[in-house]
Amino acid sequence: MKRLRIISPAKVNLRLDILKKRQDGYHELRTIFQKISLHDTLFFTLREEKGVWIQTNHPDLPTGRSNLVFKAAHSILKRSNYKGGVLIQIKKRIPVGAGLGGGSSNAATTLYALNQMLEMGLTQEELMEIGIKIGADVPFFLYKGGAAIGSGIGERLEKIELPLLFYVLIYPNFEVSSRWAYQNFLLTKKEFHFNLHQLLTNPQRISSFLWNDLEEVVSHRYQEIAMMKELLLSVGALGSLMSGSGPTVFGIFSSEEASKKAKQKIKTKVKERGWEIFHAHGLV
């Protein structure tokens, strides 16, 4: 039986502006995505028996039809001539429900892997069309390149080049529902008077430009957001922001040395609170 092992990266949102509520219930947004080196590992094995089997090392991750990986595998198998099924083993490192896109990344990796293993010949655009029906962030993880400006619900992507950025991320060990965060966000009219590309040239400029419309909603309910930001800024982060719908908060550093030193300084304090801490760099 064919086997394949693929890395599935996390993402951060360096900016997230919510522009309006759409008729389909989604929100129109503009965001800057960056893939980072924090990743899960997925193993795929084709089987003769029909079906989708998921195994994982994460005790709280569902393995049935609600799992985005299951949905992705089911979508591809339905389109293929393959009469058998697939076993997918997910080794999780990306926290679940953390605003880092782990589920979407895993789903995108599944679409890519099965397209390859079953020799279906679907293009990137075709895979992205399947992916958007599974989750708004899935197309980004199928997109070639480490960073992009996302618009629409995140599916319209424009590739951008970013300088090498280093991150320290803190996850406070609880999940935040994306649906809840968006439902509780109050829209206000916005004017944009800046050139995105001019602001993405170095870590200092990027740090001054960080923004997330959902941060106020989530931090109002969870005071840990402000505490994590303050902690990262106290050890030299150029800027700090909550990623996506949270609750993970990241700090940006311009060098690997500075980011590793910062992580070391706050590691004990973070673990005493029962939180998790990660070091990562941006992918290109």
Show the 3-state SS of 10-32.
EEEEEEEEEEEECCCCCEEEEEE
pLDDT of 4 reads: 97
Residue whose C-alpha is closest to residue 111's, from 21, 192, 8, 184? 8
Assessment of whether the complete model's pTM goes beyond 0.75:
yes
Residue with tokens 């789903």: 107
Helix (H, G, I), strand (E, B) or coil at 205: helix
pLDDT of 197 reads: 66
One-letter amino acid for residue 29 of the chain: L
Parallel/antiparallel/unpaired status of strands 239-242 and 27-47: unpaired
Residue with tokens 């599974």: 134
Q: From residue 218, how far is each of 37, 168, 179, 181, 230 by CA, in Å?
A: 25, 20, 12, 7, 16
257-266 confidence digits (pLDDT tens): 999 999 999 9
Residue whose C-alpha is closest to residue 244's, from 165, 162, 182? 182
DSSP string, 87-144: EEEEE--SPTTSSS-HHHHHHHHHHHHHHHHTT----HHHHHHHHHTT-TTHHHHHSS
Residues labelled as active-site residues: 11, 137
Size of the chain in residues: 284
Where the chain has pLDDT below 50, the residues are none
Residue whose C-alpha is closest to residue 216's, from 226, 208, 206? 226
Question: CA 123, CA 140: separation in Å to the nearest integer?
Answer: 14
